[in-house]
Amino acid sequence: MALRSQIIGTGSYLPSRVVMNKDLEEVLDTSDEWIQQRTGILKRYWAAQDESTSDLALKASEKALESAGVDKKEIDLLLLATVTPDHEFPGSACFLQAKMDIPGIPAIDVRQQCGGFIYALSMADQYIRTGTYKNVLVVCSELHSRCLDLTPRGRNLSVIFGDGAGAIVLRAADITDPENQPHVISTKIHSDGSQAKELWCPGPGTALKRKERVTMEMLEEGVQYPQMNGRAVFSRAVRTMSESLLESLTSNGKELKDLNLAFFHQANKRISEAIGKTMSLSDDLIHSTVEDIGNTTSATIPIGLDDAVRKGKLKKGMLISNVAFGSGFTWGHALIRW
Ligand code: COA
C-alpha cells in the first residue's frame, strides 16, 4: 500500500472572445495561410478587458472542484502556474485565494512557463506522497493577449499565443493495485538555464541595470514583450519532448505499446507532428487542442485533459503521458493511470 495522488476532477475556462487568424492579418502584417502552415493554429481566445489571470483561474478552478465533488474549504494547498501574473507581486495564487475565500492554506505561484503544469503537478504529488496535504488544487492560467507586442515587430510570437485556464484537483489515496487504481505514477522535472534567453521576457527587471526598473526608453525598445528564437526552440522542443515521453515510460517499466493517450505541450501543431513522426505514434494517440485555442503556455495540458474528459476520449484505466517543454528551458513528464 502506498500513498499516491489521484486526479479526481478537471476544469477549464476559455474567454468568450474568439480571435481568428484573419483578425490578426492587418495589425500584425501576417496571413491566415502563414499561421496555418507554420503553426496549425486556426483560432485562439482573448480575455475581456475586465478579466485578469486570476479571474480565468477562478473559473477553471470552480469547474474542477465541481467535477471533483470537492468543497473549496477542503483544499489544503493551492498551486497556480502562470507567466502572465495579475501583478508583479504578490503571486497570483494569493489573488486567486482571496477570490476563492479560502484563507490560511498555502498559495504558491509556479513560474516555470510552458513547463508550469508538470512542475506544479510534481510539487503537488510530492506533498501528497509525504502525507503533508490531502486535497490539492493545481491551476494554470494565462492571459497573453495583454502581454504581447501586437505590432508586426512581434508577429512571430503574437500569432501563437492564446488566453485560457485549466485546473485539476488531486486527492491522496492509498494505492494497493497500481495497475488498475487511478494515480500519478511518476513525475520528473528538468531545466537548462543556459538557454534562458532563447525564449524570454527581458523587462521590467533588475538585470537590465537601468536607473529605474521601468523607463520610457525601455518601453519604446519593447523589453516588456516576450522574445523568441523560434527555430532553436522548435528543434529543442521536438527532441526534448520525444525523450521525455520515452523517459516517462521506460522509468516505469512501460513501453510505447502500453500508452493510451499522450498530452504534449501545445506550442505548435508541427512540433507534435514531428514528435509523432520521430516516435511512430499514430495520430489518435496525441490529443491536440492547438488548432482551436493556440498556445496557452502552462494551461495547455490541463485544458487538454479537461477537453479529453468532456469528449469521452480520456477514460478510467487509461495510461497517459503528459509532456511539456518551454522557456527556461524547462521540461518534464507526468505518467498517470487515469
Ligand atoms: N506572419 C508572417 N510572416 C512571419 C510571421 C508571421 N506571423 N512570423 C515570422 N514571419 C516571417 C519572418 O519575418 C521571416 O521572414 P524572412 O524570411 O523574410 O526574414 C520568416 O517568416 C521566417 O521567420 P522564422 O521566425 O524563422 O519562422 P519559422 O519558420 O521559424 O516559424 C514559428 C516561426 C514561431 C512558427 C516557429 O519558429 C515555431 O513554432 N517555433 C517554436 C515556437 C514555440 O514552440 N514556442 C513556444 C515554446 S513553449
The 10s digit of each residue's pLDDT in 128-157 is: 999 999 999 999 999 999 999 999 999 999
- For residues 83 and 210, state if they share a domain: no
Q: How far apart are CA 213 and CA 191, in angstroms?
A: 27
Q: Which residue has the cell 493545481?
A: 138
C-alpha count within 13 angstroms, C-beta hemisphere, residue 80: 30
What pLDDT does residue 1 have? 80
Q: Is the CB of 202 under 6 A from ligand 1?
A: no
Helices (H), 130-201: 155-158
- For residues 42 and 164, state if they share a domain: yes
- Annotated active-site residue 295? The verdict is yes
Q: Which helix (H) or strand (E) holds 292?
A: helix 290-293
Region 204-230: mean pLDDT is 93
- For residues 187 and 116, state if they share a domain: no
Annotated catalytic residue, options 21, 135, 268, 295: 295
Per residue in 165-181, pLDDT tens? 999 999 999 999 999 99
Structural domain tally of the chain? 2
For 41, 124, 166, 219, 248, the CA distances from 127, given in Å and listed in that order, are: 37, 5, 21, 41, 20
Q: What is the largest CA-CA distance in the chain?
A: 61
Q: Which helix (H) or strand (E) holds 199?
A: strand 199-200
Q: Which helix (H) or strand (E) holds 94?
A: helix 92-100
Of 179, 149, 146, which is closest to residue 163 (Cα–Cα)? 146
- Annotated active-site residue 135? The verdict is no
Coil vs helix vs strand at 50 = coil
Per residue in 80-135, pLDDT tens? 999 999 999 999 999 999 999 999 999 999 999 999 999 999 999 999 999 999 99
Domain range for 104: 2-175
- For residues 145 and 208, state if they share a domain: no
- For residues 80 and 222, state if they share a domain: no
Annotated catalytic residue, options 21, 94, 114, 322: 114
User: How remote is the CA of residue 166 from the centroid of ligand 1, in Å?
Assistant: 27
188 CB-contact burial (10 Å; exposed 0-12 / middle 13-18 / buried 19+): middle
Q: What residues contact residue 194 under an 8 Å CB cut-off, 6+ apart? A: none
What pLDDT does residue 189 have? 98
What pLDDT does residue 56 have? 98
What pLDDT does residue 87 have? 97
Per residue in 27-70, pLDDT tens? 999 999 999 999 999 999 999 999 999 999 999 999 999 999 99
- Mutation test residue for ligand 1: of 25, 26, 38, the one with most atoms within 8 Å of CB: 38
Decide which of 144, 175, 206 is a domain's last residue.
175
Of 247, 235, 236, which is closest to residue 328 (Cα–Cα)? 236
Q: Is the CB of 222 under 6 A from ligand 1?
A: no
- For residues 306 and 256, state if they share a domain: yes
- For residues 120 and 228, state if they share a domain: no
What pLDDT does residue 9 have? 98
- For residues 154 and 20, state if they share a domain: yes
Q: Whose CA is nearest to atom 13 of ligand 1?
A: 156
Q: How far apart are CA 65 and CA 243, in angstroms?
A: 33
- Mutation test residue for ligand 1: of 155, 156, 325, the one with most atoms within 8 Å of CB: 156
Give the count of beta carbons closer than 10 Å to the beta carbon of residue 318.
15
Q: Is the CB of 294 under 6 A from ligand 1?
A: no
For 144, 151, 202, 220, 305, the CA distances from 225, given in Å and listed in that order, are: 10, 11, 8, 11, 29
Which grid coordinates are listed for 309?
474528459
Q: How far apart are CA 292 and CA 33, in angstroms?
A: 15
- For residues 142 and 222, state if they share a domain: no
User: How remote is the CA of residue 322 from the centroid of ligand 1, in Å?
Assistant: 26
- For residues 276 and 230, state if they share a domain: yes
pTM: 0.97
Query: Can you tell me which atom of ligand 1 is nearest the CA of 295?
Result: 46
Of 319, 278, 297, 337, which is closest to residue 114 (Cα–Cα)? 297
**Average pLDDT of the chain, as a whole number:** 97
Q: Is the CB of 237 under 6 A from ligand 1?
A: yes
For 127, 167, 206, 234, 284, the CA distances from 164, given in Å and listed in that order, are: 26, 11, 29, 22, 24
Contact 167, 60 (CB under 8 A): yes
- Annotated active-site residue 114? The verdict is yes
In this model, does residue 72 exceed pLDDT 90? yes
| End-to-end CA separation in angstroms for the chain | 18
Angle at CA of residue 191, ends 114 and 88, nearest 5°: 55
In this model, does residue 306 exceed pLDDT 90? yes
Query: Can you tell me which atom of ligand 1 is nearest the CA of 268?
Result: 39
Q: Whose CA is nearest to atom 5 of ligand 1?
A: 156
Which grid coordinates are listed for 160?
501563437
Of 159, 123, 116, which is closest to residue 141 (Cα–Cα)? 116
CATH number of the domain within which 108 lies: 3.40.47.10
User: How remote is the CA of residue 156 from the centroid of ligand 1, in Å?
Assistant: 5
- For residues 229 and 157, state if they share a domain: no
User: How remote is the CA of residue 270 from the centroid of ligand 1, in Å?
Assistant: 12
Decide which of 114, 147, 175 is a domain's last residue.
175
- For residues 193 and 137, state if they share a domain: no
Decide which of 153, 175, 197 is a domain's last residue.
175
